Structure formats: C-alpha cells, structure tokens
Amino acid sequence: MTIFAPSQENTQNGFIMSNIIDLKKGLNIPVSGVAAPKTRKVAVPGIVAVKPTDFRGLKPRLLVKEGDKVLAGSPVLADKESPDILFTSPVSGTVTEVVRGEKRKLLEVRIKADSEQKYLDFGIEDARNLDAGQIKSLLMKSGLWPAIIQRPYGIIANPDIRPKAIFVSAFSTAPLAADTEYALRDDFADIQTAINALGKLTDGRVHVSLNAANANGTPFHKLENVILHTFYGKHPAGNTGVQIHHISPIMKGETVWTVSPMMLAAIGRLLNTGRYDMSRLVAVTGPKAIEPAYVKAVCGLSMKDIAEFYDNSASDIRFISGDVLTGTNVGADGFLGFFDNQITLIKEGREHELLGWAKPFRTKQFSTSRTYFSWLTPKKTYEMDTNLHGGPRAFVMSDVYSKVLPMDIYPVHLIKACLAGDIDKMEQFGIYEVLEEDLALCEYVCPSKIEIQSILSDGIALMMKEMA
Amino acid sequence: MRKFIDKIKPAFEKGGKFSCLHSTFDAFESFLYVPDTVTVKGSHVRDCVDLKRIMIIMVLALVPAMLFGIWNTGYQHSIAFGLDDWGFWNIVGYGLVKVIPLYLVSYIVGLAIEFISAQIRGHEVNEGYLVSGMIIPLIVPADVPLWMLALAVAFAVILGKEVFGGTGMNIWNPALLARVFLFFSYPSMMSGDTIWTPGVTRYLAEGKAYASGDGLVDAFSGATPLAHPSMDGLQTAGTSLWDMILGVIPGCVGETSVIAILIGAVILLWTGVASWKIMFSSILGGLAIGYVGYAAGVTDLPGYYQIVMGGFLFGTVFMATDPVTSAQTETGKWIYGFLVGALAVTVRLFNPGYPEGMMLAILLMNTFAPLIDHYVISASISRRAKKIKTA
C-alpha cells in the first residue's frame, strides 16, 4: 500500500489540510454494471413522486389534494412536529394521486409534470448578504432543509440548534455509486455558495472529506471556507459516519449535520437562482442495467422513465433506488428517492442452487470468505442477485464483522444491545456514531444472515423514543 | 429431483399434512439446495458464504485426524495382540469396525435431538452439530461402550446447547461436554492404562489375565505418554518424540497424530474459519508453562513435549477455536488462547489425578471467555471516552 505524505498544499486558502487517514478495513463489493461516464438520456419528467418515507421518523402533514396545481418548489408536505419545514414538488404539474399504505400511512404524493417546467421564485438578491436566520427560513420554505441530516440518528436537522460542525463527504465508495466529480462537474460554483451559507449555521466548521486517490485533482480541493480531510480506503471510507468517527467523534449530547455534495449543489442553485431545482445526474447501474450510464433527471423520477435501461419483459428485476447495500427496493412502478442519485438493477435470486454450499468452486458467486476461491480473482466482477445464500442463524463467527468496519466499535455487541433494547449498552457501544449505512457491509458479509441494518434501525428508533 | 421436492413441499408447509415436520423437511431441502429466499430488508445482495459452508470446512479439517484415527485404532490393537501378520487392510478394517459405530451413535443421537428441538422451536435446523458430531468420536477411547457415548451426546446436546437456545448461544463446547460427562460419570472407562488400546478392555473383561501372554503380548503396557510423563517413562514405554508426532501411540481416536492435526490446522487457518490468534497463543501458553515446569524441575520433559503429547494440539486446533465458546474480541482471543494452553499444561504438571488437562482447561476458559470480553470491551469503552474528550 502506498504511503501518502501529508499534502504540501496545506496552507492553501489559509486552512489546514490534515493528513491522509488511511483506513485498512473495508470491502468493495465487486458487483458488475458500473455506469459509464456519459449521459445517455435526459429524462423528461412524466409522473414524479414526493416520498415522506425518504426521511427517518418524519410525520408528514399533507398540504395538497388530488387535482391541485403545483410549481416546482410549491409545498406538498410539512413536518407535523416543526411545521415550518416544508417538502416541495420537484416539478410543476398536477397532483394526480396520494398513495397511502397500511393504517393510512402516507407513502407517495404523485405529481404529473407539465410539459414546460415553471419554478416558484424564492426571490433572492444576493446570497452573500443573508444571515443565518434568513438562510434557515429560505431552506425550510423551499423544501431543501430536509437535505440536511442530523447525527446522531440520521434525522432531518433541527433548525433550532447550532451543530458542532457540518460534514460533507466529497466521494462515495458505495457499490457502483455515481462518480461525484462526473455527476457534479458543472455545479462547483453552486456548491461553494452552499458551503458559504451553511457555514453561517454552525459554531464549528464545514469539513469536507476527499478521496485520497484523487485528492489534489478534484475540484473539491479548491473549495474555500472548509477544512479538508483526505481518506484512503475501501468502502465505507466514503461514508460520512466513518469520516466523522476519525475526524471528530460525536459525544453524547452533541449534534453534527451532514450534507451530500449533490444536496449542496441544489442548495447553491437555490441561493444563486432562486429556484428549487432538484435536477441531477443519476447513475443507472447494476448487472441488469443495459449499457449502464447516467440519466439527467429530477428526484422522484419514475422507474418507467428509464425503460431503455432494462429488459422490459423480464419480471425478475429488483429496482433499487440507491446502492445494493443501503438502497430501497422501489419496484418497477417506483420512484427515485430524495437523496439518491443512483438506481441499481439486479436480478431477484429466486433460484435453488443444487448443493451450492458444498461445491468446492462457485465461480459465479463472490465471497469474502476464503472458504470459497473468489479471492483468487480480485479483479473479477459478479452478476450478483438478491439471493440470501443461506438461512438465518444466531451469531456464530466473531471476526468477520470488524474486518469491514473501519471504526473503533464492536458491531456484534452493538447489534446485540439493540436486540436487547439496552439503552446504556447501545450508548456505550457507539450508537450515536453509526447509521445503518455504516454497518451495511457487516450485514453483507454475515454468514448467519442477520438483518443487521434493520436491527440497528429499531435500536435507533428506540433511542429516539427513550431519549426524547 | 427439484420437481419431486417442489411436489412434496406443500405437505410440509403450514397447514399441510406433515407440517409438524417442517423443520426436518427444510433441513433436508436446504442441505440439497441453496434456498430460494431473497433479501427483504437491508442489503440487497449478500455474501455467498453461510454457516453450512463454514461448518463443512471444519468437518473437512477433521478428516485427516479421523482417517489416521481409524488406522491407528487397528494398529494399536494389532501391536497389543501381537498380530504381526496384519496388513494395512486388516488394520483399517478393524479400525472401521471400531470407529464407524461411534460415528453412527454420535450423529444419530445428536442430530435427532437437534431436529426435534428445531421442530419444537419452529427454527431451521442448525448445522452446528455437524462439527460437534465429527469431533466427539475422535476424543473418546475407541472402546467406549456405545450406550455411554449415546448418553454423553444426549447430555452435551440437550444441556450443553439446546437449553441455551442452540448453536451460537451455548457457553461450553458441546463436544467437550460429552467427553467431560464420560470422564466424570464413568471414570473407569476414561482413565487408566488399559482403555486406550482397542480391544483390551473387553479382553480383560472376559476374565483373561492382564498381560498373561495369552493373546495380549507380554510387553503390552497400553499407557499413553501422559501416564508417565518423564524421559525415563517414555523411554521404558519405548515411545519416541517421533512416535508422538506421527501419532502411532495409544490414545483417543483422533488426538494422537500431530501431523494429521496440523493438516487440519492448515485448512482452518487458510480458510480463516478458526482464529490463528487463539491457536498461536494457546501453543505459546502451553510452551511457557511447559518450560517453567521444566526449569523448576517439576518435569524433565522440555516444554515442546507438552504440545505433542495427549490432546493438547487437538484441543488447541479444533476445540479452543470454536467461534461460539471462545472469546469474541480480538484482544480477548490472545488472552483466552494463552490461558487455555497455560492451564492445560498446569493441570498436567501439578495434578496427577487428571493427566489430560486440555479438556478442563478449555471448558474453564469457555466459562471465563465472556468475562475476558467484558474487560476488553470495558477498556475499549473507556478508551473511546477518553479519545472523544481529547478530540
């Protein structure tokens, strides 16, 4: 492994650039279907959806009814607990359907887009002159406040507090993730605007973590008013949670905010143009994607609008908004999530493999375990499917989990504390520092097939309830 | 095949004719085919490794010791009875006759209990017993009466494992519990000099005199090296270090050959199924106390003799490393392994009543493994707390 010297340009912009944090643990899952860096299609929005389920713990209040006309930026939902936080329509059009699930839980508000997009004008004169209060109310009014995530727990940020710091990961290491630099190549001016504005909302600083592989070449390197950090390593090195753990761990009682670069771009666009413009480059990826590449679209994009990327006659494709580790199974009729700029298409693995576990070789399957031989072909990618590859068991192996978690945390003990609902233990084992995405790889490698992310979700929900 | 299974499957599902045998059916089906279940929550793709694969590797690693044990069972018998004209196949044939019933009893009793308890709980049948059932016949004398073995297996599986909730929840290594049950319940069958050579017990029980020359050879002693752990003792018995490494000595079925066990160890370490930290530190612990005893004059055997004698290596490689009952934390594994090795040799050197200390050492450390983990984790928590304060 290359040893990196500390950056020589650490005085650039007058801010300190810290040393490279080299994470040895982790795993890049070799799933096939990486998106080629080209934009294959500009999706004209048909029907899009606003999904309250994209936000943890949100109790939504519906502000529109079927048949209402909305502009891009018009409020659709509000947060029942802080009604100033609005969720707005990404397109101009007509509300066609309000989809509810069990117990009338609000799932989706579907909006049919007009052929010509009209934006609500939030009327901004000069973003540089806005003070913290004005920035907050603008973000809440425009529907971009929910883009700011608060830790612990990964919830919508509480506008009444000033966080310890704001963290941004300038790269993603998730399987087949969109290349941040390609997807945001025209947006760096907006990102800088957003950073300048958000910097006013924290007592601390805005920390931006760069990928060591390209630390000096990335445009993020030129950002001002930030503290830059550099990370080297496999997934989950690009996760904000892992980065915060190594930069400035979250203590009990502290809060930090995180924002993705894509959301910074949207915030910057709002401040520079006065428009709620959620357009983004979405990577369509995965083994079942035909010619995987990027699509220009808005959030809430319907899977039907990317029909040319998959075999429409196939009934066994899983549509994931996000990546294979943490994404949401939205189905062929589903919509892209608020935070996602990736769609992954994989095969539903409903097959019985004869004596699979007993075969000496399984050349089509990948395993981190040396009980198989896929470690002999480190460059190979695999057409992975959704088969569980086994049945659920109790925890047996103790050393597989920490190998993919570059954090000073005992994942098995944390999960067991969550199962037991033991608040004190969960606290001690670091529940404030992790979100599901950080432990997703533990779930991937688990030979006992334990639903680690789901157990952690329940643990976080319990913490929020008990500590409220 | 697949069609047949799909045809009979509904009968075993809920509401079907044989729904009470659902777990059993499921166990056989998932044994033959990887289940078609897909991920529902969390990560959409999963690693193709499962516990079945890990367990089968452990079983595989035990095969050399088992094969050698079968041969050695016959070989020891042929030496004891002066059967110089026995060829390889005679020896192996005798070994098979002795060892196969042990395996049949071990697996039939153990798996029956596993299936029944899985059925009662409505869980899938756990594959953990595949390994325990493989180990148990290897750590008993070949002459052990089958009903005793059956009782020991039942004790180990029910009270050692199922009452705690099955594989993954147990505190003690089930295979060792079976052995410890035999050891304390039927001491006459588990200690002494005559039991370690197959066929001798029965020969004596038939009223024939010990070493009478009538069948049993004059020079027969039957004692394992552990019965006379001194240079003189080994010399009198004619046991060389090489004999112990090759394993051509009396003892439990699978524990005698260092070479066969090391082949297993290589498989386990190469695949990463067992922890090298535990193996390494256990040997380190054994050597340390072995040499302390040597220096203090407790024994005239250099420390490395302790490693090759008796069940030390078998215990270190296959039982101390049991991922469920050993320490769970990486630092804890070092401490746990070292103490297993150290205690095993300590028991040997200072307590002539229990010549084989490995079994008790591992069980004792199984008991303390959670405590070790507790301290390792507490240290980690306070270290984290400190780091956070300074950050």
Same domain, A194 and A300: no
Taking the CA of residue B156 and the nearest CA in chain A, the distance in Å comes to 18
B171 close to A (CB below 8 A): no
Same domain, A307 and A237: no
Strand ranges for B194-256 from DSSP E = none
User: To 10 degrees, the CA torsion angle through A367, A370, A374, A376?
Assistant: 150
- List of residues 6+ apart from A418 with CB closer than 8 A: A426, A431, A455, A456, A458, A459, A462
Residue B34 pairs with which residues in a beta bridge? A353
Residue A209 pairs with which residues in a beta bridge? A169, A229
The CATH number assigned to the domain holding A54 equals 2.40.50.100
- The pairing of strands A227-232 and A206-211 is parallel
Q: Which of B5, B25, B46 should one mutate to test binding to chain A, selecting the residue with the greatest count of A CBs within 10 A?
A: B46
Q: Which of A18, A167, A399 should one mutate to test binding to chain B, selecting the residue with the greatest count of B CBs within 10 A?
A: A399
B44 close to A (CB below 8 A): yes
Q: For B178, which DSSP code?
A: H
Same domain, A233 and A307: no
Same domain, A267 and A286: no
Q: Which residue has the tokens 């010619």?
A: A291
Cis peptide before A236 (omega within 30 of 0): yes
Among chain A residues, CA nearest to B5: A352
Task: Let me know if A410 is exposed, middle or buried by CB neighbors in 10 A (0-12, 13-18, 19+).
Answer: buried
| Residue contact B46–A389, C-beta within 8 A | yes
Whole-angstrom distance, CA of residue A462 vs CA of residue A108? 25
CA A267 → CA A83, B140, B292, B357, distances in Å? 20, 72, 70, 69
Question: Shortest CB distance from A397 goes to which of B37, B39, B323?
Answer: B323
Same domain, A94 and A227: no
Same domain, A136 and A244: yes
Same domain, A133 and A204: yes
| Residue contact B34–A371, C-beta within 8 A | no
Handedness of CA A352, A357, A363, A364 (dihedral sign): positive
In this prediction, residue A139 carries a pLDDT of 94
Q: Name chain B contacts of A410, Cβ cutoff 8 Å.
A: 329, 377, 380
Chosen domain end from A113, A141, A162: A113
Question: Shortest CB distance from B38 goes to which of A388, A393, A429?
Answer: A388
User: To 10 degrees, the CA torsion angle through A451, A454, A460, A463?
Assistant: -80
**Are A148 and A161 within 8 A, CB to CB?**
no
Residue A402 lies in a domain: no
Q: Which two tokens mark A330? A: 């939205």
Taking the CA of residue A179 and the nearest CA in chain B, the distance in Å comes to 21
In this prediction, residue A349 carries a pLDDT of 81
Same domain, A133 and A6: yes
Q: Name chain A contacts of B329, Cβ cutoff 8 Å.
A: 398, 410
Whole-angstrom distance, CA of residue B193 vs CA of residue B141? 11
Whole-angstrom distance, CA of residue B56 vs CA of residue B127? 9
The series of mean pLDDT values per 10 residues for chain B, 391 residues long, is 71 66 71 75 88 90 93 86 81 89 92 86 80 91 88 91 84 90 82 71 61 54 68 74 82 88 93 92 93 86 84 91 90 94 88 75 92 91 73 51
Among chain A residues, CA nearest to B381: A428
| Residue contact B323–A386, C-beta within 8 A | no
pLDDT tens across B26-72, in order? 777 777 777 777 788 889 999 988 888 899 899 999 999 999 999 99
Among chain A residues, CA nearest to B28: A355
Residue A368 lies in a domain: no
Residue A169 lies in a domain: yes
| Residue contact A324–B43, C-beta within 8 A | yes
In this prediction, residue B300 carries a pLDDT of 81
The CATH number assigned to the domain holding A325 equals 3.10.20
**Which residues between 239 and 298 in chain B have a beta carbon less than 8 angstroms from any beta carbon of chain A?**
270-273, 275
Taking the CA of residue A176 and the nearest CA in chain B, the distance in Å comes to 13
- Identify residue A84 by its one-letter amino acid code: D
Task: Let me know if A160 is exposed, middle or buried by CB neighbors in 10 A (0-12, 13-18, 19+).
Answer: exposed
pLDDT tens across A457-467, in order? 999 999 999 88
| Distance between start and end Cα atoms, chain A | 45
Domain containing residue A457 = 411-467
Whole-angstrom distance, CA of residue B102 vs CA of residue A289? 55
Question: Shortest CB distance from B45 goes to which of A386, A399, A412?
Answer: A386
Residue A101 lies in a domain: yes
What interhelical angle do B146-160 and B174-185 show, nearest 10?
Answer: 130
Chosen domain end from A358, A373, A398: A358
| Residue contact A346–B44, C-beta within 8 A | yes
Residue A196 lies in a domain: yes
**HSE (side-chain half, CA atoms, 13 Å) at B223:** 16
Whole-angstrom distance, CA of residue B390 vs CA of residue B385? 9
Q: Tell me chain B's radius of gyration from C-alpha atoms.
A: 23
Q: Which two tokens mark B318? A: 């296959």
Instruction: Please count the residue pairs, one from chain A and one from chain B, whose beta carbons lie less than 8 angstroms apart.
Output: 195
B52 close to A (CB below 8 A): yes
Same domain, A237 and A261: yes
Residue A130 lies in a domain: yes
A307-315, Cβ contacts within 8 angstroms, sequence gap of 24 or more: A308/A40, A308/A41, A309/A40, A309/A284, A309/A343, A309/A345, A310/A345, A314/A288
Same domain, A164 and A70: no
Chosen domain end from A113, A146, A170: A113
**HSE (side-chain half, CA atoms, 13 Å) at A27:** 25
The CATH number assigned to the domain holding A226 equals 3.40.50
**Which residues between 309 and 328 in chain B have a beta carbon less than 8 angstroms from any beta carbon of chain A?**
323-324, 326, 328
Whole-angstrom distance, CA of residue A392 vs CA of residue A451? 9
| Residue contact B57–A452, C-beta within 8 A | no
Among chain B residues, CA nearest to A321: B44
In this prediction, residue B39 carries a pLDDT of 82
Q: Which of B28, B44, B374 should one mutate to test binding to chain A, selecting the residue with the greatest count of A CBs within 10 A?
A: B44
Same domain, A241 and A181: yes
| Residue contact A357–B53, C-beta within 8 A | yes
Taking the CA of residue B37 and the nearest CA in chain A, the distance in Å comes to 6
Handedness of CA A365, A368, A374, A377 (dihedral sign): positive
Residue B114 backbone dihedrals phi, psi, to 5 degrees: -60, -45
The tens-digit pLDDT sequence of chain A (468 residues) is 333 434 434 444 444 455 788 999 999 999 999 999 999 889 888 899 999 999 998 999 999 999 999 999 999 999 999 999 999 999 999 999 999 999 999 999 999 999 999 999 987 777 788 899 999 999 999 999 999 999 999 999 999 999 999 999 999 999 999 999 999 988 999 999 999 999 999 999 999 999 988 877 788 888 999 999 999 999 999 999 999 999 988 888 899 999 999 999 999 999 999 999 999 999 999 999 999 999 999 999 999 999 899 988 888 899 999 999 999 999 999 999 999 999 999 998 887 777 777 777 777 888 888 888 888 888 889 999 898 888 888 888 888 898 999 998 899 999 999 999 999 889 888 899 999 999 999 999 999 999 999 999 999 999 999 887
**HSE (side-chain half, CA atoms, 13 Å) at A394:** 17
Q: Name chain B contacts of A366, Cβ cutoff 8 Å.
A: 47-48
Q: Name chain B contacts of A368, Cβ cutoff 8 Å.
A: 47, 49
Among chain A residues, CA nearest to B27: A391
Task: Let me know if B201 is exposed, middle or buried by CB neighbors in 10 A (0-12, 13-18, 19+).
Answer: buried
B13 close to A (CB below 8 A): no
| Residue contact A386–B44, C-beta within 8 A | yes
Residue A353 backbone dihedrals phi, psi, to 5 degrees: -95, 120
- List of residues 6+ apart from A379 with CB closer than 8 A: none
Residue A375 lies in a domain: no
Instruction: Please work out, in degrees rounded to the nearest 5, the angle formed at the alpha carbon of residue A319 by the alpha carbons of A316 and A325.
Output: 110
| Residue contact B34–A357, C-beta within 8 A | yes
Residue A263 backbone dihedrals phi, psi, to 5 degrees: -70, -35
Residue A371 lies in a domain: no
Whole-angstrom distance, CA of residue A280 vs CA of residue A293? 13
| Residue contact B50–A391, C-beta within 8 A | yes
Q: Is B28 helix (H, G, I), strand (E, B) or coil?
A: helix
Q: Which two tokens mark B136? A: 């148990």
- The pairing of strands A317-321 and A342-347 is antiparallel
| Residue contact B33–A355, C-beta within 8 A | yes
Around Cβ A123, how many Cβ atoms within 10 Å?
Answer: 7
In this prediction, residue B88 carries a pLDDT of 86
- Number of structural domains chain A divides into: 4
Name the residue among B64, B306, B101, B271 with its Cα closest to residue A447: B271
- Say what the ipTM of the complex is: 0.85
**Are A404 and A25 within 8 A, CB to CB?**
yes
B300 close to A (CB below 8 A): no
Instruction: Please work out, in degrees rounded to the nearest 5, the angle formed at the alpha carbon of residue A406 by the alpha carbons of A441 and A320.
Output: 25
Cis peptide before A152 (omega within 30 of 0): yes
Alpha helices in A320-435 (DSSP H): 411-420, 423-428
Taking the CA of residue A17 and the nearest CA in chain B, the distance in Å comes to 17
Q: Which two tokens mark A150? A: 């608060």
Question: Shortest CB distance from B272 goes to which of A355, A369, A436?
Answer: A369
Same domain, A105 and A132: no
Whole-angstrom distance, CA of residue B67 vs CA of residue B76? 14
B45 close to A (CB below 8 A): yes
Q: Tell me chain A's radius of gyration from C-alpha atoms.
A: 22
